[in-house]
Amino acid sequence: MTPRRQRVPWLVLALTLALAATGLMALHTVRHVMRMRRSSESIRPWMSIPYIARSRHVPAEGLYKSLGLPPNRHDRRPLGRIARQQGRPLDELIARIETAIAHAREQPPRQNGSVP
């Protein structure tokens, strides 16, 4: 085998690894942009409290408390339905949630094992 033919498999392997690394970095960038976009979008009637809590990086318990609801991880009702069931305007619920989010962001994060 000539020296040139011995290099071809290594070049193909190097090119494949470079393309894979580039693809992974592109995927990471796209996910980051989508996360940033989600966290800055306004609260909509179709959103559930767990979804809002995850996208805003705040505890769901505080959001439930702001609406006078018991914390429930499995409650996937959208805000529009909660507003109808409580007989309250949707804008009022959204304002309460935004206030709770702002309050939660002001609080320092709790350490594991610490008592508030």
C-alpha span between 84 and 80 (Å, rounded): 6
CB 53 within 8 A of CB 60: yes
* 25 & 49 share domain: no
Report the distance separating Cα 89 and Cα 104, nearest Å.
Answer: 23
pLDDT confidence of residue 45:
94
Look up the pTM and report it.
Answer: 0.61
Domain co-membership, 60 together with 99: yes
Q: What is the pLDDT of residues 5-62, one digit of tens each?
A: 778 888 999 999 999 999 999 999 998 887 776 666 789 999 999 999 988 889 999 9
Range of the domain at 83: 44-106
SS3 state at 3: helix
In a domain, 9, yes or no: no
5 within domain boundaries: no
> Of 86, 111, 61, 108, whose CA–CA distance to 97 is shortest?
61
Q: Average pLDDT of the chain? A: 86
Count of structural domains within the chain: 2
Asked whether residue 75 is assigned to any structural domain, the reply reads yes
Q: Both 78 and 91 in a single domain?
A: yes
Contact 60, 71 (CB under 8 A): yes
